Amino acid sequence: MPDRTVLDGLKGGLIVSCQANPDSPLRDPYIISRLALAAEKGGAVGLRVQGLEDVEAVRAVTALPIIGLTKTDRDDTEVYITPTAAEGVRLAELGAQIVALDATSRPRPEALAEMFAAIHAAGALVMGDISTLDEARAAYDQGADIVSTTLSGYTPYSRQLAGPDWELMQELHGAGLTFVAEGRLNSPADAAQSMQLGASFVVVGSAITRPDVITGWFKQALRN
């Protein structure tokens, strides 16, 4: 059975997402493991890591809690964050204490409740990546341990914003639901604001670990 105290250790802290897209020059498990160590040195209390190879490489160099996920493109669904229980179970076996998966209401290959049960049986907690308040409620009803605002802006029916979805955070807090703030938190001020709005902890990715993306922000600013 999963260790629920992991979530207590993350409370109020910064989780750094260490991911590189397939076309990134940083797309290498060794490089991801070094990004993870740099995040740890900077004070991250946990890491969010994509892909079996990267989870294995990061687990080998740090004892920090890992939120593991896969990104799998499938023809039969729009859902790509850990779409199957088998992937979730494998992530748990490789040392992810928490498995993140798409918990949106979109059609999916496998039922959420069954995925949650399989991942729990493998010893990991489940983070439901959601895009709306209703999806957060449904995720908790079906057994999620925590939900994250990861997918706001990435489902066609959620708010499409350039920045963080503050309104969703307010809704979650207002409904008394524990939540993680994630998605387009592109500055320390955004991270702090998320905590003000009641987040349990925050996940920051691009602004810390994607220099190609950050370079684009600066380049764009110079054009204005």
Ligand X SMILES: CC(=O)N[C@H](C=O)[C@@H](O)[C@H](O)[C@H](O)COP(=O)(O)O
List of residues contacting ligand X (CB under 6 A): 17, 19, 48, 69, 150-151, 154, 182-185, 203-207
Least Å from the CB of residue 162 to ligand X: 11
46 beta partners: 15
For residue 81, give the DSSP letter. B
Kindly state the tokens that stand for 13. Answer: 């802290």
Which residue number, 163 or 174, has a Cβ lying nearer to ligand X?
Answer: 163
Assess contact for 182 and 16: CB atoms under 8 A: no
Closer to ligand X by CB, 150 or 194: give it. 150
Place of tokens 């494998």: 90
Quote the least distance from Cβ 145 to ligand X, whole Å: 17
Beta carbon nearer to ligand X, 42 or 174: 42
CB 185 → ligand X: shortest distance, Å? 6
* 178 CA to centre of own chain: 15
DSSP-derived 3-state class of residue 202: strand
Q: Which helix H or strand E contains 127, and what residues bound it?
A: strand 125-129
Return all residues near 222 (Cβ < 8 A) that are at least 6 apart: none
Phi-psi bin for 69: left (phi > 0), alpha (psi -120 to 50), beta? beta
For ligand X, the closer CB: 137 or 184 = 184
Query: 81: closest CA among 67, 97, 93, 69?
Result: 69
- Least Å distance, CB 93 to ligand X, is 20
Measured at CB, which residue is nearest to ligand X? 205
Residue 97 CB, shortest distance to ligand X, in Å, is: 16
Do the beta carbons of residue 77 and residue 109 sit within 8 Å? yes
Q: Which is nearer to ligand X, 112 or 204 (CB)?
A: 204
Closest CB to ligand X among residues 5, 49: 49
What lies within 8 Å, CB to CB, of 166 at 6+ separation is 193, 197
Least distance in Å: CB of 1 to ligand X?
Answer: 25
